[in-house]
Structures are given as C-alpha cells and as structure tokens.
Amino acid sequence: MSDATLHDAQPTKRSLHQIDARTKRRNAAESRFKMLGIGAIGIGIAFLVILLSTIVVNGVSAFQQSFLEVPVYLDPAKLDKKGNRDPADLKKATTFTYAPLIEKGLLEVVQTAGIETPLSKTKDMKNLISSSAAAQLRDRVLADPSLIGQTVTAKILASSRVDGYLKGRVHRAEIAQDKNITVEQLDLADALIKAGILHKSFNLDFILGSDASDSRAEQAGIGVSMLGSFYMMLVVLVLALPIGVAASIYLEEFAPKNRFTDLIEVNISNLAAVPSIVFGILGLAVFIQFAHLPQSAPLVGGLVLTLMTLPTIIISTRAALKAVPPSIRDAALGIGASKMQATFHHVLPLAMPGILTGTIIGLAQALGETAPLLLIGMVGFIATNAPDGFWDGFVSPNSAMPAQIYEWAKRADPAFYERAWGGIIILLIFLLGMNIIAIILRRKFERRW
Amino acid sequence: MAVLWIAVLLAALTLGGFFAGRMRALQTAGGDPRLLHSLPSYSGTLVAMATLLPALILYVLVVVFRADPVLQIVVTVVGALIGLALSLRLIARDFRARNAVEAGIKGLLIAAASLAILTTIGIVLSLVFNTIEFFRLYPITKFFFGTEWTPSFGGGSELGILPLLWGTLYISFIALAVAVPIGLFAAIYLSEYATRSVRGVVKPLLEVLAGIPTIVYGLFALLTVGPFLLSIFGPAGPTAAFADGGWMHAGTAVMTAGLVMGIMLIPFVSSLSDDIINAVPQSLRDGSYGLGATKSETIKQVVLPAALPGIVGAVLLAASRAIGETMIVVLGAGAAARLSMNPFEAMTTVTAKIVSQLTGDADFASPEALVAFSLGMTLFILTLGLNIFALYIVRKYREQYE
C-alpha cells in the first residue's frame, strides 16, 4: 500500500524549526481547545463568585437595623388607671395605649431638637416607628412595673420603610403611591439622623429573634427557625447515624452474596437519586396522614430528612469500612475473636473518622434541604414562638432555616428579601462550619495503610 | 405522658435484666467466670435484649392500634417482664450466650439494612394508593393527554399533565445546555491539561457550587437572574425592538430557572465526567501520541469516543436531577401552566405543582390535592427510569476497560 506513495515522496527541504501551514493549523486547534477548557472553568468560577458576592451584597444589611433613641414618659394615668401596679391590671393596657406614648416622646424629641418640619401631630410620627415598638415597650413595663411614672430612654425599632430608606432600598422617587411613608417623613428621618436620634446598629434580634407577621419586616428574625433546624438535625443524627452504620456494617462485613442483598443494594443506590420532593410526599402520606404525627413538627421533618440522608451516610460509611485493610480483621479473627467482635472492636473504631466525616456531610446536606419540608407544613407557619422546653421543641410546630428563607422570599414586601439573603448568609456559615469540621476530621485522623 | 413512663420503666427493666443475667451466669459457675462458655456480660446483654425487644415490638403494636395510655404501659411492661423471665431461665454454665447475642445483633443489622427496602415500599405505597384514589375521581386519559392545567378547588378543574411535563423538559433542556458544555470542558481540562496544583484548587472550588442548598439558587433566580434577564429581554430592554413589547414579561421564566439550574449542575456534570475520563486507560492516549496526534486530537478522537457511553450516562443522571429539582423552579419558573416555545415565558413544572397542590389548606380527598400524588408517581418513575438506564450504561462502560 505504501509503495504507491513512496515514489511521489519529495524529500523535505525545510528545516523542522520552520512550521508549515498544517502544523500551524493543528497547533492553533490545540490552543483553541485548551482555551475552551480554561474558559469553561473560568465561567464556572465566575458563577460561583457572582453567586457568593450577590449573597453578601444583598444580605449583609439584614444584620443592621435602624433604631430611634426616644425618651418615653410612661404616664401612670394611662398605663395604670387604678394606681396599684398590679400586674393583672397592667396587662389591660394594650399596645394601643403604648403606641401614642412613644409617638408623643418622638414628637417631643423632634421639637426640642429644633427640627423644622411640617409634621406637628403625634399621629404623623406613626409611620416612622415600627408597629412592634409598642409591644416591646409593653413587655418591658410588664417585666418591671416600677418603670411607670418614669421617663425611660427606649431603643425603638424604626419602621421598615425608614429602615429601607437608610439602607438605600426605599427611594424618594418611588414612594408617591406608598401609604406607609411620605416625603415629609423622609425629610424628618434625614434630620433625625443628623441629630443622632436615628441610627443603624447591629441587630442581634435578626439572628436570635423570631419571625414576625407580614407587615413588620423590621422585627423578623431567624432565631426560632434556627431552633427548628437544630431539633431536626438532632433527630437526623440520632436516627441516621446508628441505622446507617448498622446497615453499612451488615452490607460490608456480613451480607452473603444473594438476591436479598442485591435488592438492598439496588434500593440504596436508587433512593440516593430519588428527588427530595418525593420524600416530602412520603412524609406527608406516612407520617402525617397515616401515623397522625403533628404537622409542621421538627420531629416529622427530622424523620423525612433521616430517610433522605440515609443513602448518603450508608455510601460513605461503606467506603470507610472498605478502607480498613483485611489484615486487621484477620489478626482479630486469628487470636480467637468472633466475627462480630472483630468488627465492633477493631474495624469500626478504625473506620470511625471516615464515618463521622460522611455523617457531617450528610447532615449539612439535610440542613439545606427545603422541598420536603414544604409538604409537611413547615412553610406558611409563622415561627413566632420559641418552644417551651427541650421535649416540646420536637413536636410543637416550627419552621426551619431554609423554609424560613423560602417564606420570606414569597412575601410581598421587598423588605423581607433582605432578610432572606441575610438568612442565607447564616445558613451558609453553618454549612461552611460543618464542612470545615469534616475536613479537619479527615485531615487529622486520615490513615493510609 | 405514657411515652415517658414506658421509657423510664423499660430502661429500668433493661438495666436490671443486664445485671440479673450477669449475676445468674456467675452464680451457675460458682463465681468463677473461667468455667462459663461466654463472658458474664454476654449473658447480661442477652437478658437485656430479651427484655427490651419484645417490649418495643408490643409498644409499636399498641400505638398502631391506638390503645389507651394505661393499657399501653401495662402491655409493654408485661412483655418486658416475660422476656426477662424466660431469658433468665436460659442462662446456665454451658449456655452459649455470646452466640445468641451475636445472632440478635446480626438481626438488628439486617433490620437496619432492610430500612432501605421499607422506604422504597413506603414511597411506592403512598404514591400508588393516592394515585388510584385520584384516578377514581378523574379520568386517567384526561390526566395523561390533557393539554389544560386549570385546577380550582371549587370543582370543574382541568388537570392535564402535558403542560407541566413540557415546562419540566424545557427547563431541564436549558439547564443541560448550560451545564453539559461547561461541565464537560471543565472536566476535560482538569483531567488532561491541568497541573496537580491547579486541579487541587479548581476542583474543590467548582464543587462548592454543588454544596450550596437549592433554596439559595432559588432565591438567586427570583431576585437576581430574573430581574437581570428582564432588563435585557423585557419591554424596556435593548431587544424590545425585535419583538413588540419584548419577549419577557416577568422575572420568572423558563430561561431564568433553566440558567440557574444549569449553574447548579455544572459541578455534577464535571465531577462525573472527570471520573469517567480518568478511567480511560493511559495506553490508549500513549498509542495516539505515538502516531503523532496532538493532545487535543487525542482527546477528540480517542479519549472522548472511549468515554462517550459514560458521559452519556452522566448527562442522563444530570437530567434526572434537573427533572426532580424543586426549589429553583418553585421560585424561578412561575406558576402558569403553558405550552409555549418562548423560553422567556413563565411556565411551570411537575415538581412546582406538587408543592402548590399540597401546601395550603386543601382538602386531601379532592382531586385537586390528590393529583399531586399522581404527579409524584410520574416524577418518581421518570427519574427512576433515567437513573437505572444511566447506571446501566455507566456500569457497562466501566467493565469494558477493567
């Protein structure tokens, strides 16, 4: 075959350093291909950077909140009409009694500071102040009735519109239609900032506080739903770790090769790929409709997430068990240990770091999961009350961090979006922490045989 | 609280059983443990297990049959006592307590492993029963071939799955169109070109994308990508001149959800393809280099064809992920069920409708709520089929080079 071409072959006269057109083309194709790969990685990392910076830029402001420093005269004539400081009677004074006191206090501050404003009535101050402020002041008075009759300096939440104005979310141009704020009130807010009465400060209540209703974005916090997530993770840890380890030990150390074992294997690998929403349907049908467990309870959420995380934990535990060399087992068996003893006394302790790493990663995955929680009623529930006591935390209705973020994202007021991004920051910090622990565990205890 | 009482009583009985069993074993040996077949603590453990297990089984039974609290306590405690007494009688000097305990533990291990089967059965049963219930109320042909989706809890709903399936497939297609090229090229670069140190940095960075919860992507779609796309393709954007009023009318659209889902799937595609490309034997590459091929020619003409079945499997796995994804579409794709070709239009998916039909105060017996279970069944079968097929392909390909 090659004879035919041999006759026509011309000896090359060019030097090898001189690149011909074809080689040039091939080299260009080579570097083009390489650039495609670099480009793909660049795009992937760019997406990551955009995503993370969007979260930080939008979410950091949730950790700051606008407060008004207002001296409020707690008028005994209004708060304690009988004058006996009896807590039962004090409770009769509702937030509607407290709100005007705060408004009056703010108006006095405005007037003594010499701020020029067309707003001269106590009612005009209402939109500057959060509607939660009265309730917070009332709680303070009920806790300490001796405050009545004094003038206390209260750190009062500014309304979400004023807060949004300070954070650049609410603009003068856009508030023409807004019933909750006027241009004069924004002017006043500017003046109050200058006078040092209105200012932003760190908002611990966002991290530790409870969710608030639709109209009070400024008071909403993620604390209670954090507790909900905590209880769910506790359930997942207590159930998924022992069951997962037991199942892996059986499959890795004891299971004979038969159809039953194959069936289990197939089931585990398929469950790992079942969409999480399907686990939500399972939870709804089995735990709520059939077993009549309470809706929205962290216990049910934990059970659903346990079933969902088990395949992940089993897969990583089996890998950890597989990594323990057979010589360990043989040595144990050789000095007379039973198979069970060899496994539990020797193999399992050696595999423990790997098992824990896998468990933490499984937990992190469960912590961020939202879809199944939607179906068992953890959304739409407003998590305003912390559970009373440890056991109550499992069964009393609660939300969870991702469900709370979803809830905020669905609300109409854009003030909640900032909260949702802020919630994501907290959630990601938790996930990051868990993953770092997993990496440290792996680094510290990793053993190569 | 019957539960608390039962827990305390059972704990006490179990602990008592352990010590009683231990003592009895030592007694039968006259205080010399060397004469026993098993260590005394094995006898104790056996009695403890025999006390606890029947009590727990009885407890589950009384809870399932909703017996009243006093009966619950009595039944479980009596069960525990019977177990304790019977097992205590067994303990003797030559009794093989260790073997019995180990058999018991093995039973527990098997039970734990069988939970996977139970879960699958639970999923299938909860889907099947409610689906049958739904088809009793709503004709099956209208569900599978209906092109209208207009649920109304007042009655007279049209519950055709086609618009939802169309939305699901369209969004998944866009997601794959984003994720597959980027993920594949990233995998090729990482496995064939990148140095060890570059790989050590880039691979974990890309995998961070896989560790971010889907709710974050959902919010990103709703609040960032949606408005951004609207500013380009919406009525006020530069493309509005091509189409009257722009292509896009709201931030939630097929494109929004698809793009974000694509970002989410990049690490999924890249790490799966990476594994598969690495599994191609070096000898194939060396042969190609020996014939004078450049690196890219080797990849294009030798490595990729050899890895193709595996890559197809990876893409199918990614597709199954995309079809089952919920949070991104709930937040990013919109709520209107539509059969349209315009990718900037809001459409909805099977998963999003499962959520909307089962949340809220719906009556679970109505076809509007029950339809969610048949949607779930469709989703389950679809993703399961894709997965089994993909795993089959991947496994078949792996065997080729082993």
In a domain, A390, yes or no: yes
Contact B376 A47 (CB under 8 A): no
pLDDT digit string, tens, across residues A280-332:
999 998 888 888 888 888 999 999 999 999 999 999 999 999 999 999 999 99
Residue A28 in any domain: the answer is no
Task: Give the residue on A whose Cα is nearest the Cα of B211.
Answer: A365
- For the stretch B195-213, pLDDT in tens is 999 999 999 999 899 889 9
Looking at the complex, report in whole angstroms how far the Cα of residue A249 sits from the nearest Cα belonging to chain B: 7
B8 at A interface, C-beta within 8 A: no
Q: Does A380 contact B109 at a Cβ distance shorter than 8 Å?
A: no
CB pair distance less than 8 Å for B186 and A44: yes
Of all residues in chain A, the one with the smallest CA distance to B354 is A277
Instruction: Please give the structure tokens belonging to residue B234.
Output: 């919406």
Cβ distance of B116 and A48 shorter than 8 Å: no
pLDDT value of residue B243: 63
Mean model confidence pLDDT for chain B: 89
Q: What is the DSSP string of B379-398?
A: HHHHHHHHHHHHHHHHHHHH
Task: Look at residue A1 in the predicted model and tell me its pLDDT.
Answer: 46
Of A226, A425, A377, nearest to B216 by C-alpha is A425
Q: Which of A164, A195, A232 is nearest to A69 (CA)?
A: A195
Asked, for residue A36, whether it belongs to a domain, the answer is no
pLDDT tens digits for range B168-199:
999 999 999 999 999 999 999 999 999 999 99
More confident residue, B83 or A145: B83
Task: Give the domains, in start order, of chain B with CATH numbers.
Answer: 2-118 (no CATH), 149-400 (1.10.3720.10)
Q: Which helix (DSSP H) or strand (DSSP E) does residue A66 occupy? A: strand A64-73
Of A138, A168, A202, the one marking the end of a domain is A202
Q: What is the pLDDT of residues A75-87, one digit of tens each?
A: 877 777 777 777 7
One domain for residues A172 and A227: no
Percent of the residues in chain B that have a pLDDT greater than 70, as a whole number: 96
- A142 in the same domain as A288: no
Q: Using 50, 70 and 90 to split pLDDT, how confident is the model at B402?
A: low
CA distances (Å), A359 to each of A242, A249, A363, A434, in order? 10, 15, 6, 10
- CB contact (8 A) between residue B223 and residue A402: no
B299 touches chain A (CB under 8 A): yes
Do the chains contact at A251 and B295, CB–CB below 8 Å? no
Structurally, chain A folds into a number of domains equal to: 2
What is the C-alpha to C-alpha distance for residues B258 and B262, in angstroms, rounded to an integer? 6
* pLDDT for the residue numbered A12: 58
Predicted local confidence at residue A392, as pLDDT? 80
How far does the CA of residue B74 sit from the closest CA of chain A (Å)?
A: 22
A182 and A280 fall within a common domain: no
Tens digit of pLDDT for each residue in B366-396?
Answer: 888 889 999 999 999 999 999 889 888 877 7
A340 contacts in chain B (CB < 8 Å): 102, 105-106
Contact (CB<8Å) B109/A250: yes
- Does the residue A31 lie in any domain? no
Q: Name the residue facing A338 among B98, B116, B376 (closest C-beta).
A: B98
Note whether A257 and A188 are same-domain residues. Answer: no
* CA dist., res. A43 & res. B311, Å (int): 21
**Closest-CA residue of chain B to A244:** B112
Task: Nearest chain B residue to A404 by CA: give it.
Answer: B215
Domain interval for residue A335:
223-445
Q: How far is A127 from chain B (nearest CA, A)?
A: 27
pLDDT over threshold 70, residue A11: no
Tell me what the mean pLDDT of segment B93-121 comes to: 91
Lowest-pLDDT choice from A222-236, A370-384, B25-39, B97-111: A370-384
Q: pLDDT at position A10, please?
A: 60
Helix (H) or strand (E) segment spanning residue A67: strand A64-73
On the CB side of B277, CA atoms within 13 Å amount to 23
Report the C-alpha gap between A285 and B123 in whole angstroms: 9
Q: Higher-confidence residue: A97 or A4?
A: A97
Same domain for A238 and A192:
no
Q: Are residues A423 and A291 in the same domain?
A: yes
Interface membership of B186 toward A (CB under 8 Å): yes
Record: contact B119-A307, CB cut-off 8 A = yes
The CA distance from B73 to the nearest CA of chain A, in Å, is 20
pTM (2 d.p.): 0.89
Q: Which residues contact B268 (CB under 8 A, 6 or more apart)?
A: B179, B183, B210, B317, B318, B321
User: CA-to-CA distance for A60 and A357, rounded, in angstroms?
Assistant: 30
Same domain, residue pair A285 and A369 = yes
Considering only CB atoms, B188 lies closest to which of A37, A43, A424, namely A37
Contact A254 B224 (CB under 8 A): no
- Whether A140 shows a pLDDT value over 50: the answer reads yes
Q: Is A285 in the same domain as A382?
A: yes
Rounded mean pLDDT of B42-62?
91
Nearest by CB: A277 against B192, B326, B388: B326
Is residue A334 domain-shared with residue A234, that is, in the same domain? yes
Query: Is B82 within 8 Å of chain A by CB?
Result: no
What is the pLDDT of chain A when averaged over all its residues?
85
ipTM of the complex: 0.89
Domain membership of residue A352 (yes or no) is yes
Same domain, A193 and A305: no
**Is residue A176 assigned to a domain?**
yes
Burial, B164: exposed, middle or buried (Cβ in 10 Å; 0-12, 13-18, 19+)?
buried
Single-letter residue type at A444: K
Judge residue A189's burial from the number of C-beta atoms within 10 Å of its C-beta, 0-12 exposed, 13-18 middle, 19 or more buried: buried
Instruction: Out of A26, A41, A406, name the one closest to residue B294 (CB).
Output: A26
pLDDT of residue A191: 81
Q: Is residue A231 part of a domain?
A: yes
Token pair belonging to A300: 């049910």
A59 found inside a domain: no
A333 pLDDT above the threshold of 90:
yes
pLDDT in tens, A39-56: 999 999 999 999 999 999
- According to the model, what pLDDT value does residue B29 have? 86
Residues of B in contact with A428 (CB under 8 A): 212, 216
User: Taking CA atoms, what residue in A is nearest to B383?
Assistant: A274
Question: Between the CA of residue A111 and those of A74, A106, A120, what are the distances in Å?
Answer: 19, 9, 9
Residues B118 and B346 sit within 8 Å (Cβ to Cβ): no
Do A307 and A404 lie in a common domain?
yes
Check whether residue A194 and residue A227 sit in a common domain.
no
CATH at A280: 1.10.3720.10
Highest mean pLDDT among A212-226, B101-115, B224-238: B101-115
Label residue A367 exposed, middle or buried (CB < 10 Å: 0-12, 13-18, 19+).
Answer: buried
Q: Name the residue of chain A whose CA is nearest to B222's CA.
A: A409
**Res A118 pLDDT > 50:** yes
Q: What is the pLDDT of residues A419-433, one digit of tens each?
A: 999 999 999 999 999
Report the pLDDT averaged over residues A156-185: 80
